[in-house]
Amino acid sequence: MQLNNMYIGIDGGGSKTEAMMCDEKGVVVARTVGGSTNVKSRSTDAIKQTLKELFHDLFIQADVAYEHVTGVFVSSAGGDRLEDHERWQDWIYEVAPGIRGKMDVRNDAYGALASGTFSMEGTVLIAGTGSIAYSILDGESRRVGGWGYLLGDEGSGYDLGRQALSKVAHMHDGLMELDLEFMQIMLTSLQVDSAAEVITAVYEDDYPRRRIASLAEHVILLAQAGNATARQIIGEALRSLLELVDQVHSEDVPLVLSGGMFQSTFMRLAFCNLFEKKYPHHHAIIHPDVPPVVGALVCALLLGEETVTNEVKENLQSSSRSLNRSFT
Amino acid sequence: MQLNNMYIGIDGGGSKTEAMMCDEKGVVVARTVGGSTNVKSRSTDAIKQTLKELFHDLFIQADVAYEHVTGVFVSSAGGDRLEDHERWQDWIYEVAPGIRGKMDVRNDAYGALASGTFSMEGTVLIAGTGSIAYSILDGESRRVGGWGYLLGDEGSGYDLGRQALSKVAHMHDGLMELDLEFMQIMLTSLQVDSAAEVITAVYEDDYPRRRIASLAEHVILLAQAGNATARQIIGEALRSLLELVDQVHSEDVPLVLSGGMFQSTFMRLAFCNLFEKKYPHHHAIIHPDVPPVVGALVCALLLGEETVTNEVKENLQSSSRSLNRSFT
């Protein structure tokens, strides 16, 4: 039974939702993971059920009452829109009716940024399923990218996979020179024997986007091994990502690199090289060592007007890590 | 009650299926239209029901018995694959059990080509929902393109719409200079007030592909009116289409232009200009004046070893046109 002010951070991604609770010192006392809370992929009832379970888990683990919660921060894909904001508030009040503290719902860039800066200042570049750059400075936010897989998301994992298959198509059709190594690795990764079978493999898959995005890691590995076609794709992707950052970034704030693409050391270093040519005097590029949900906790603490001291930061890092370990 | 040899042609498109019956002289005696027969968008039961109705209509209108049918030719998207071939045969024997004549199932390029050449020789470039070039020469066929909206289909209506929205995104993000006229027409066409609303308009639409493709006509109109951004998009699309043709075309055979994009005189002329620069000695570019289902009838006649004389050709043209009028 805790008597401190308690904070909840929620990171609502496309495929899963992660929630954590910490006290005012940043000590994480509960962590739980549930399904997607994206209204585009699940029904409202299913989302509410997920949230109900998440809150139930958190409060059981933490052994505190609803009224001890001082701040709830939701960092969610698409959370910029007023309707999402209202939807989330309604859901939370419904599944956790005793909750009293302040509540805010923002774009998932917030959690990602704060997981690197432990503040709400700076630029974050997210390259994962999609791609977006987001800067927050003096409370003002600017975003660029984030148009989704049909209209943009250049430099995302999906984009890498799509470019790779487009090259396979062009090689097959004689529109570009055959790179046998590249072609073979892509076909093997898709588990097909010939380029002609790619069409069926992609369009008859239940999740064509996931199937296409699954090729990204093979493109990265090939580029790392020196394959020319893969290097070209990666090069274009990195330049697109740099263009996004360029639009919103200022040299004197930290840049946080977040998302699945930067899990690859190769991608991270390649991007940093490109970035440093453009911003030679830039000092802080951060690759967070905690997940975005910890960033959401930082935002919740700030919402409750707590100061995120070095002690709080270290508490968040060490306690979230040990909790993460106990879950995997 | 006819006593001639009768032929059935079927054009199975993504959104509708058209069927016609003619006699050995090319006189079309029945025409009917039903829903999609695409296994990727409808259940087998729904397709069989559609085919049952199509055959019922044809035979009622023509007032002939099943055993008078000498040839059935199906020209269907994806019909190149053996499994499609077998599926179609099974369906037809099931819904029209008395049918005896020869039967063949091929890619939808066959109907499109024959609707222009009244033979099975030549090159056809289809630019509609998707894009593909197909040549048939001495019974050998070659195809290029046709990879579908996720992986290719450069120069298709969907591609035009996607390029247009990608420009809107880049203009909004400051990644390219704003073309106010272009931006406004695109937003108006999508019925949204700002670029930021494009995301919701597209992704929350029940048919995002259709919504995106619906912009193609506005891009074409803008290009026609001289808008620079639209001209750039159209220019790239035409060059992509020419690349497809280049891969399979021989100068001494006719080129047929088919599909919704070439319904626009502007697009047709623009493509011809580009094509004639590349092939200055080419004489025959054909824009068919009959629909692909008439091409499927031509293929059915050839399957039954009939000779498609000028008389047959004229019969097909005039009788299919008068039948078309009575239906619209």
Residue B246 in any domain: the answer is yes
Q: Tell me whether A254 touches chain B (CB under 8 Å).
A: no
Q: Decide if A203 and B40 are in contact by the 8 Å CB cutoff.
A: yes
Please name the member of B148, B152, B203 whose beta carbon is closest to the beta carbon of A148: B203
Per-residue pLDDT of chain A (328 residues; tens, 9 = 90+): 446 799 999 999 777 899 999 999 999 999 999 998 887 778 889 999 999 999 999 999 999 888 899 999 999 986 677 788 888 999 999 998 888 889 999 988 999 999 999 999 999 999 988 899 999 988 888 999 988 888 888 999 999 999 999 999 999 999 999 999 999 999 999 999 999 889 889 988 888 888 999 999 999 999 999 999 999 999 999 999 999 999 998 888 999 999 999 999 999 999 999 999 988 888 789 999 999 999 999 999 999 999 999 999 999 999 998 876 555 4
Same domain, B93 and B29: yes
Same domain, A117 and A18: yes
Same domain, B88 and B177: no
Same domain, A17 and A78: yes
Same domain, B81 and B179: no
- Could you tell me if A161 and A213 are in contact, meaning their C-beta atoms sit under 8 angstroms apart? yes
The confidence score (pLDDT) of residue B2 equals 47
The confidence score (pLDDT) of residue A101 equals 86
Same domain, B113 and B163: no
The CA–CA distances, whole Å, from A141 to A107, A122, B193 equal 10, 10, 21
The confidence score (pLDDT) of residue B117 equals 95
Phi-psi region at A222: left, alpha or beta (left = phi > 0; alpha = psi -120 to 50): alpha
Split into its structural domains, chain B has a count of 2
- Could you tell me if B76 and B12 are in contact, meaning their C-beta atoms sit under 8 angstroms apart? yes
Residue A140 in any domain: the answer is no
Residue B71 in any domain: the answer is yes
Q: Mutation target for B interface from A153, A163, A173, A186: give the one with most B CBs within 10 A.
A: A173
Same domain, A15 and A75: yes
The confidence score (pLDDT) of residue B3 equals 61
What single-letter amino acid sits at A106? Answer: R
Q: Among B253, B278, B305, identify where a domain stops.
A: B253
- List the 142-201 stretch of A: residues with Cβ below 8 A of B: 144-148, 150-152, 162, 165-166, 169, 173-175, 198-200
The confidence score (pLDDT) of residue A1 equals 47
Structural domain containing residue A165: 157-253
Residue B132 in any domain: the answer is no
**Nearest-angstrom CA–CA distance, A169 and B9:** 31
Q: Decide if B169 and A151 are in contact by the 8 Å CB cutoff.
A: yes
Residue A134 in any domain: the answer is no
* Cβ neighbours around A259 below 10 Å, total: 23
Residue B95 in any domain: the answer is yes
Q: Tell me whether B40 touches chain A (CB under 8 Å).
A: yes
Same domain, B237 and B311: no
- pLDDT tens digits, B90-106: 999 999 888 888 999 99
Same domain, A20 and A81: yes
Same domain, A117 and A196: no
Q: Among A253, A273, A299, identify where a domain stops.
A: A253
The confidence score (pLDDT) of residue B326 equals 54
Please name the member of B151, B166, B198 whose beta carbon is closest to the beta carbon of A169: B151
Residue A168 in any domain: the answer is yes
**Nearest-angstrom CA–CA distance, A201 and A83:** 37
Q: Tell me whether B206 touches chain A (CB under 8 Å).
A: no
* Cβ neighbours around B208 below 10 Å, total: 17
Same domain, B112 and B180: no
Structure tokens at B296: 């499927």
- The residue in chain A having the minimum alpha-carbon distance to the alpha carbon of residue B167 is A151
Residue A38's CATH number: 3.30.420.40
Q: What are phi and psi of A14, to 5 degrees?
A: -70, -35
3-state secondary structure of A71: strand
Query: How much is the ipTM here?
Result: 0.81
The CA–CA distances, whole Å, from B179 to A180, A213, B170, B225 equal 42, 32, 11, 14
Q: What is the band of B144 on the pLDDT scale with cuts at 50, 70, 90?
A: very high
Same domain, B99 and B167: no
- Identify all chain A residues contacting B134, using CB atoms and an 8 Å cutoff: none
- Identify all chain B residues contacting A84, using CB atoms and an 8 Å cutoff: none
- The residue in chain B having the minimum alpha-carbon distance to the alpha carbon of residue A161 is B151
Q: Decide if A243 and B175 are in contact by the 8 Å CB cutoff.
A: yes
Q: What are phi and psi of B97, to 5 degrees?
A: -65, -20
Residue A218 in any domain: the answer is yes
